[in-house]
Amino acid sequence: MDSQTAEHTAQLPQVTEPRNPGMALDLDWVANVQANTSAIERRAASLPGRRSVKKDYQAAWLLKAITLIDLTTLSGDDTVGRVRRLCAKARQPVRPELLDALGVDGITTGAVCVYHDMIAPAVQALHGSGIPVAAVSTGFPAGLSPFHLRLAEIEESVKAGAKEIDIVISRRHVLTQNWQALYDEMKAFRAACGDAHVKAILATGELGTLRNVARASLICMMAGADFIKTSTGKESVNATLPVSLVMIRAIRDYFDRTGYRIGYKPAGGISKAKDSLVYLSLIKEELGDRWLMPDLFRFGASSLLGDIERQLEHHVTGAYSAGYRHAMA
Integer Cα distance of 219 and 202 in angstroms: 11
Region of residue 53 (left: phi > 0; alpha: psi -120 to 50; beta: else): beta
**pLDDT tens digits for the chain (329 residues)?**
444 444 444 444 455 789 999 999 999 999 999 999 999 999 999 988 766 788 899 999 999 999 999 999 999 999 999 999 999 999 999 999 999 999 999 899 999 999 999 999 999 999 999 999 999 999 999 999 999 999 999 999 999 999 999 999 999 999 999 999 999 999 999 999 999 999 999 999 999 999 999 999 999 999 999 999 999 999 999 999 999 999 999 999 999 999 999 999 999 989 999 999 999 999 999 999 999 999 999 999 889 999 999 999 999 998 877 776 777 65
DSSP annotation of 265 reads E
Active site residues: 166, 229, 265
Identify the three-state secondary structure at position 140. Answer: coil
Strand segments, DSSP code E, in the chain are: 69-72, 111-114, 133-136, 164-168, 197-201, 227-229, 263-265, 299-301
Q: Are 133 and 123 in contact (CB under 8 A)?
A: yes
Burial 274-294 (b: 16+ CB within 10 A, else e): ebbbbbbbbbbebbeebbbbb
Please name each of the domains of the chain with its CATH number. Answer: 22-326 (3.20.20.70)
What amino acid is encoded at 222 in this protein? M
The pTM assigned to this predicted structure is 0.93
